[in-house]
């Protein structure tokens, strides 16, 4: 038997966030691209091993963001793989999974997937995986996409905002679930009911309260109810509810989980720190669908994270050019750019509620990695990729749009003071980002693990 290679890097931190328990002192040994051991803080390093002592900066597993719209190719002037993965690295994210829409073409066939991979490969500063798309008429493409390595499939139950990615009706949802259940595929669902949206008042204009009325709680609740009923008709079906904004859906998800349904759900940083009451009229940088809701609703989302009804916190980074953020909430593009800011935004709100850093990391790293089936990501543990975020929880900064790395400097967080600074980000044992500087891109394209 060949002896295991000795570590070539040892990172020490008084606050390492390990899979169990609160942050504690530890030393993480790295051999090549992989974590080889987690040791007591004072462990001696082998001869020739480089040692990096982080002091009281927290050592986290690299974050995993499974809800990112990169938009490249086709709409790379909105966002591209270079800028998106740089912003992600600056935010402590070492793995992102790209959504299948807003790029041209959308990721709805193997040919379209290959085109996106060709564009991403030389530009990725972090590791990148891909979701496929489930749209009307492409059920025959789902298994080939699965075999080509996509991690799962996204669909809409209401209009997506782009014509090339239409929503599934009830019949189409059943067809997609039947196809995916045959090979244990995962369906991710934008759950807003089109009939409730159509019946809601559509006034348009700059007033946020009018926009909020146009995306009622009932639209989310009804869509989730219909989704869970459809999933129950297909034994073994796996479904994931995207960007939960309404507390009204939480009892439905909790009940389905208790009954053994294979359902998971996520929410987003903007739903956890921003509230409808604070959105100025005309400030469409706050527009997203489903919308930022009231403060009382937000508290229920935090409770749902605590009790496990909600599994993940991911960005839903959905950027556009600034000209599409017109002052009319009805006509403006809906999406909030937060790749670089998600961790400090969530930590700021979590710390104020007494929620610990380990809980934040579990929801932003371990849980999204598990959702996407990325077994080498999401934990400081032997055998995992040596992906790290070095984080200063007590440091604070004020968000300046010009200092953000995503392509178009539009953000709902402008001028807000946030707690927590990402000092550096490491990908497979190598530093990818530190103090505003990036190494050359060396991210990998990830495939579904077989």
Among 11, 85, 31, residue whose Cα is nearest residue 438? 85
The pLDDT of residue 450: 63
Taking residues 18-42, report their average pLDDT: 97
Cβ proximity of 13 and 355 under 8 Å: no
pLDDT above 90 for 437: yes
pLDDT above 50 for 304: yes
Cβ proximity of 102 and 75 under 8 Å: yes
pLDDT above 90 for 2: no
d(CA 319, CA 303): 29
Q: Provide DSSP, 68-131.
A: E---TTT-TTT--HHHHHHHHHHTTEEEEEE-SSSSSS-S-SHHHHHHHHHHHTTT-SSEEEE-
Q: What are phi and psi of 305, to 5 degrees?
A: -65, -40
The pLDDT of residue 61: 98
Cβ proximity of 412 and 333 under 8 Å: no
pLDDT above 90 for 3: no
Coil, strand or helix: which one is 215? coil
Among 237, 288, 240, residue whose Cα is nearest residue 266? 240
Among 115, 98, 221, 104, residue whose Cα is nearest residue 153? 98
The pLDDT of residue 138: 95
* Model confidence band, residue 1 (pLDDT cutoffs 50, 70, 90): very low
Average pLDDT, the chain: 96
The pLDDT of residue 349: 98
Q: What angle do CA 436, 439, 440 make, to 5 degrees?
A: 135
SS3 for 395-448, per residue? EEEECCHHHCCCCCCCCCCCCCEEEEEEEEEEECCEEEEECCEECCCCCCECCC
pTM over 0.95: yes
Taking residues 266-274, report their average pLDDT: 98
Cβ proximity of 294 and 271 under 8 Å: no
Q: What are phi and psi of 193, to 5 degrees?
A: -80, 125
Taking residues 399-420, report their average pLDDT: 95
Q: Give CB contacts under 8 A, 24+ apart, made by 32-35.
A: 32/5, 32/8, 32/429, 33/385, 33/386, 33/428, 33/429, 33/430, 34/383, 34/384, 34/385, 34/386, 34/428, 34/429, 35/380, 35/381, 35/382, 35/383, 35/384, 35/385, 35/386
Any residues with CB less than 8 A from the CB of 23 and at least 6 apart, and which?
Answer: 15, 16, 17, 58, 356, 357, 358
Share of residues in the chain with pLDDT > 90 (%): 96
Taking residues 393-397, report their average pLDDT: 98
d(CA 381, CA 28): 8
pLDDT above 80 for 4: no
Residues of the chain by 3-state class (helix, strand, coil), percent to 5: 30, 25, 45
54's tokens: 């982080």
Among 287, 314, 178, 194, residue whose Cα is nearest residue 238? 178
- For 348, counting Cβ atoms within 10 Å of its Cβ (0-12 exposed, 13-18 middle, 19+ buried), the class is buried
């Amino acid at each position: 038997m060949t002896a295991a290679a000795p570590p070539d890097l040892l990172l020490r931190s008084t606050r390492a966030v390990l899979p169990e328990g609160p942050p504690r002192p530890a030393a993480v040994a790295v051999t090549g691209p992989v974590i080889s051991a987690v040791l007591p803080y004072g462990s001696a390093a082998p001869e020739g091993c480089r040692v990096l002592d982080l002091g009281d900066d927290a050592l986290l597993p690299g974050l995993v963001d499974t809800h990112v719209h990169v938009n490249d190719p086709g709409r790379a002037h909105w966002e591209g793989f270079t800028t998106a993965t740089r912003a992600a690295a600056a935010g402590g994210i070492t793995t992102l999974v790209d959504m299948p829409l807003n790029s041209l073409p959308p990721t709805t066939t193997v040919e379209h997937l290959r085109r996106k991979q060709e564009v991403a490969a030389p530009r990725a500063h972090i590791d990148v995986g891909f979701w496929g798309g489930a749209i009307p008429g492409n059920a025959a493409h789902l298994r080939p996409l699965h075999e080509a390595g996509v991690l799962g499939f996204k669909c809409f139950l209401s209009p997506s905002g782009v014509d090339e990615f239409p929503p599934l009706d009830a019949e189409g949802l059943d067809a997609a679930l039947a196809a995916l259940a045959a090979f244990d595929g995962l369906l991710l669902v934008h759950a807003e009911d089109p009939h409730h949206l159509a019946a809601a008042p559509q006034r348009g204009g700059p007033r946020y309260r009018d926009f909020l009325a146009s995306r009622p709680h009932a639209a989310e609740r009804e869509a989730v109810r219909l989704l869970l009923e459809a999933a129950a008709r297909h034994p073994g079906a796996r479904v994931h509810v995207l960007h939960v904004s309404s507390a009204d859906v939480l009892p439905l998800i909790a009940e389905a989980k208790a009954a053994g349904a294979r359902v998971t759900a996520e929410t987003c940083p903007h739903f956890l720190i921003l509230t409808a009451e604070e959105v100025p009229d005309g400030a469409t940088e706050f527009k997203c669908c489903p919308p930022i809701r009231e403060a009382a609703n937000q508290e229920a989302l935090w409770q749902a994270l605590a009790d496990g009804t909600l599994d993940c916190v991911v960005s839903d980074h959905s950027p556009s050019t600034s000209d599409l953020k017109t002052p009319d909430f009805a006509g403006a593009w809906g999406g909030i750019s937060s790749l670089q800011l998600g961790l400090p935004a969530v930590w700021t709100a979590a710390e104020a509620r007494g929620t610990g850093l380990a809980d934040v990391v579990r929801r932003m790293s371990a849980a999204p990695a598990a959702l996407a089936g990325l077994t080498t990501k999401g934990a400081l543990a032997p055998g995992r990729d040596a992906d790290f975020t070095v984080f200063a929880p007590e440091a604070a900064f004020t968000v300046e749009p010009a200092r953000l790395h995503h392509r178009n400097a539009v953000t709902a967080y402008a001028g807000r003071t946030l707690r927590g600074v990402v000092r550096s980000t490491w990908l497979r044992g190598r530093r990818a980002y530190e103090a505003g500087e990036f190494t050359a891109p060396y991210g990998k394209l990830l495939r579904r693990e077989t």
